Amino acid sequence: PVINKIDLEHANPDATEEQIWEVLKNPTDSSRISAKDGRGAREVLERVIKEVPSPTGSPDKPLKALVFDSFYDVYKGVVIYTRVVDGAISAGKYITFHSKGTSYKVEEVGYLTPKLIKADSIKTGEVGYIIAGIRDIHEIKMGDTIFEKNSPIDAPLPGYKEVNPVVFAGFYPVNTTDYTALKTAIEKLNLTDSSFNFQGETSKALGFGFRLGFMGLLHLDIIRERIEREFNIPLIATNPNVIYKVQAKDKQGLKGKYVEVTNPADFPHYGDVMDIMEPYVMANIIAPLPYMEGIMNLLKEKRGEHVKIEYISTTRVIVEYLLPLSEIILDFYDKLKSVSRGYASFDYEPYEYRSSDMVKIEILLHSESVDALSFITHRTRALHNSRQICEKLKALIPKHMFEIAVQAQVGGKIIARETIGAMRKDVLAKCYGGDITRKRKLLEAQKEGKRKM
């Protein structure tokens, strides 16, 4: 373990070291450093050399290299970050990618320092970069294995998990004229960050846009902020969703296959839905004991299932919970910080898909369904979430010359409603006196006019 920021006035490395021992249950020596002023940095580097095992592999075996990252350079094309496991790579060799079978001639190799430093070759156990004149970054797959064209391999390198998007959202330009600019911006960002994917989609309410898949909510926020800041394109982002597995009736009325759905607009008709499965994660939360009651209540509110609790000291607790992924991609982090005053740490990993009583909430404006506002939620929270969004829409949508009904619908049944009142002209402003029947007549005429609208 390495303890950083020892230069701060309120730093307490002794207490931090004790907490690390309590969590890891492996009392090894910790290195104390300050990355700001350099204290302890040399000691850490020396420990890495002494204690980290040397890379395994043979320089005499045929080439095997792992692709772990890449980016796009406008002049050189795709720059591949790789780790050589066996053999060596040098300029002039022909390499092949195992996943697609495509071959390219290596133009340049070198090391990361972190600048790209050109070298003659990258040898066994070394990490470096490869430039091979590749112009499409989607040709490169993270975790792929590289080998020499004339020396094929039996199997790719094991142990690298392919990354797949888990959170999806729709991006629409505020100004419809910015659609082409938005497409260009997303394509440029995708050249340097291939971990998100995108495809075009159309909304009746918002027009033309794109549905993007991200690694998480933070990834979504970063991409959205970069589009707005770097390309100056105001965006409308829809509610983020996870991947649901939906089983619907087939044409014969029998159970069909499970289909992955990322957009509420693509959900089958509620009468045809047989089963909906949502992803669950295994969550670990470490927090001080006094805040555990609030954290437990939050986890219960988010439909969490308790797995185990462990006291790592007299003041700190670690809890494991199974949580629906859809419950933690919105406001879970903020609420967790609030109830723990920022002292809780949280991490999770994918666990499994489970059948859940999920429903699709359709939002109607003036009896017209707005597909961009539809969302998926658990049936027990349908009423609360529906009322909440109807109230927000009532506050945001300006008044018109006629009444607008804001409704939330589940399975063809309206479960929440708010009404945006019509703008009214004061028809009695000039009636300073006179009989009350004249005023009633003016009000009735106005009411009839509003009804006809």
pLDDT digits over 191-237, tens only?
A: 777 788 898 988 887 889 999 999 888 899 999 999 999 999 999 98
Does residue 244 contact residue 276 with C-beta atoms inside 8 Å?
Answer: yes
- 381: in domain: yes
Residue 453 lies in a domain: no
Before 152, cis peptide (omega within 30)?
Answer: no
3-state SS, residue 268: coil
pLDDT at 289 over 80: yes
Counting every residue written for the chain, the total comes to: 453
To which H or E segment does residue 49 belong? helix 41-51
What is the count of structural domains for the chain? 5
Q: Would you say residue 444 lies in a domain?
A: no
Token pair 């089963």 in the structure block, residue: 275
pLDDT on residue 388? 92
- pLDDT at position 368 is 87
Distant-in-sequence, close-in-space partners of 357: CB < 8 Å, separation ≥ 6:
276, 378, 379, 380
Question: CA 324, 326, 332, 333: dihedral to nearest 10 degrees?
Answer: 100
- Does some domain include residue 378? yes
321-358 as b/e, with b when 16 or more CB fall inside 10 Å?
bbbbbbbbbeebeebbeebbeeebebebeeeebeebeb
pLDDT in tens, 386-444: 999 999 989 888 888 788 899 999 988 999 999 888 776 676 667 766 777 777 877 78
- Mean pLDDT in residue range 374-389: 91
Residues 332 and 302 sit within 8 Å (Cβ to Cβ):
yes
Instruction: Decide if 183 contacts 192 (C-beta within 8 A).
Output: no
Which amino acid, 441?
K
pLDDT at 429: 62
Residue 264's SS3 state is helix
Mean pLDDT, the chain, rounded, equals 87
Q: Answer whether 391's CB lies under 8 Å from 353's CB.
A: no
Q: Give a yes or no: residue 451 inside a domain.
A: no
Residues 46 and 84 in one domain: no
Structural domain contains residue 124: yes
The pLDDT assigned to 433 comes to 67
Domain that holds residue 21: 2-51
Q: How far apart are CA 99 and CA 146, in angstroms?
A: 9
Is 266 in the same domain as 226? no
76 and 43 in a common domain: no
Asked if 28 and 38 touch (Cβ cutoff 8 Å), the reply is no
Same domain, 75 and 13: no
pLDDT digits (tens, 9 = 90+) for 301-346: 999 999 999 888 788 889 999 999 999 888 888 899 999 988 888 8
Query: What is residue 250's predicted lDDT score, i.e. its pLDDT?
Result: 79
Q: Say whether both 11 and 103 belong to one domain.
A: no
> Given a cut of 90, is residue 99 above it in pLDDT?
no
Q: Is residue 447 part of a domain?
A: no
Same-domain check for residues 348 and 374: no
Closest CA to 326 of 375, 293, 287: 375
**pLDDT value at 84 more than 80:** yes
Least confident of 8-12, 155-159, 432-436: 432-436
Task: Answer yes or no: is 111 within a domain.
Answer: yes
Of 177, 211, 237, which marks where a domain is finished?
A: 237
Six token digits for residue 93: 């060799």
3-state secondary structure of 250: coil
What gap in Å lies between CA 284 and CA 318, rounded to an integer?
7
Query: Domain containing 232 — which CATH number?
Result: 3.30.70.870
* Joined tokens for residue 187: 């394509």
**Cα–Cα distance for residue pair 48/51, rounded to 1 Å:** 5
What's residue 30's pLDDT? 83
Q: Are residues 279 and 371 in the same domain?
A: no
> Angle, to 10 degrees, between the axis of helix 292-301 and the axis of helix 332-340?
160
